[in-house]
Amino acid sequence: MTALEQLGWTPQWQATWDAAAVPAGAVPGRVVRVERLSYQLAAAGGTHEAVLPGGVRHKGQTEIPVIGDWTVAVRDAEDQPYRILSVLPRQTTFSRAVSGGGRVPAQQVMAANVDTVFVVTAPDEDFDLARLGRYVTAVRLSGAQPVVLLNKADLARDLRPYTAEAEALDVPVHAVQARAAGGLEALEPYLGTGQTVALIGSSGVGKSTLTNALLGRAATPTGEVRELDNQGRHTTTWRTLYPLPSGGLLIDNPGLRDIAIWDETGEAFARIEELAAQCRFSRCTHTSEPGCAVLRAMQRGEISEELLEEYREFTAPGRSAKGKRPKRAGGR
């Protein structure tokens, strides 16, 4: 395999490159590390420092390179960093909603071109089905496959209640013990050559320990959970893409307290309408009626209460949700 293929370069990416207006001397490079003012690009000749020209930096936020992006890059001399000219169209885009000024949310792209996202939680105080459902929804909207990992499986005397609740989200669920490398063989199908996996979850669930276990080396620092409130400390500061011994690629993200769902296309509203067709009453208002499939989905964490409130607003008499999109995100 070529160096680019090991980074996830496929015939589809090659076709995208061939169709793009690429300047002479430009090369494809994948973003493997993002810091405040600089990047690291992995290309055919190895890993290199890269910078973002001012003209690109002042474009829309969605055009700024993120971890996992494939870029068009050039450099003037071998001792100079690459200059990132543009980002190739993304195959998947993992985003969240952030404050954009006033009441209108903005999209923050966190990772790109990810095949599978491991949503990491633990069978302890961190386990929150509603929050887990928001993570899963955000992953689905990105175009990637969500997979829930119950790390620190040894903490629970009985994992079955946790597994059953997570499986209610209609996702694969795997119990693992990253510190002891237990259960990791179940993850092998997601880690094939050229496949990109990302880790998300709150601080303290063991993402950095899991990263080190999958890499087979201590690549990122790990921290202890505070005994007082069972909350973890942030040990991952920058987003980094690591090559795995299996041939896959792994993105370790800093911990998130929660996630506000970015739903640019209105797909979350479409999901509510699909659920509404399963309600007991044809004119269900999704407020307190028995047999309401939408309320059941909210209780399972598949949709948030805030998103349902906006759906009710858009489907009030005289209005239709079809073709609409949420005014703000569906997170907390």
Tell me whether strands 173-175 and 116-121 are parallel, antiparallel or unpaired: unpaired
284 labelled binding-site residue = yes
The reply, when asked if residue 209 is annotated as ligand binding, is yes
Q: Do residues 50 and 33 lie in contact, with contact meaning Cβ atoms separated by under 8 Å?
A: no
Nearest Cα neighbor of 234 from 201, 276, 265 is 201
DSSP state of 177: B
Cβ atoms of 56 and 86 within 8 Å: the answer is yes
Q: In whole angstroms, how far apart are CA 241 and each of 35, 73, 99, 208, 250? A: 12, 18, 27, 13, 5
**207 labeled binding residue:** yes
Q: Which residue has the tokens 């999209």?
A: 107
Residue 292 assigned as binding residue: yes
Q: Is 151 annotated as a binding residue?
A: yes
DSSP states along 237-294: -SEEEEE-TTS-EEEE----S--PPP-TT-HHHHHHHHHHTTSSSTT--SSS-TT-HH
User: Is 15 annotated as belonging to a binding site?
Assistant: no
Can you tell me which residue has the tokens 């952030």? 98
258 in a known ligand binding site: no
- Please state the φ and ψ torsions of residue 141, each to the nearest 5 degrees: -65, -25
Distance CA(277)–CA(284), nearest Å, equals: 9
Ligand-binding annotation for 152, yes or no, is yes
Find out whether 137 is annotated in a ligand binding site: no
Residues 6+ apart with CB under 8 A from 322: 273
Is 206 assigned a ligand-binding role in the annotation?
yes
- 183 contacts 213 by C-beta, under 8 angstroms: no
208 annotated to a ligand binding site: yes
* Phi and psi torsions of 265, nearest 5°: -95, -5
Residue 79, annotated as binding a ligand:
no
* Binding residue positions: 151-154, 201-209, 279, 284, 286, 292
* Binding residue positions for Zn(2+): 279, 284, 286, 292
* Binding residue positions for GTP: 151-154, 201-209
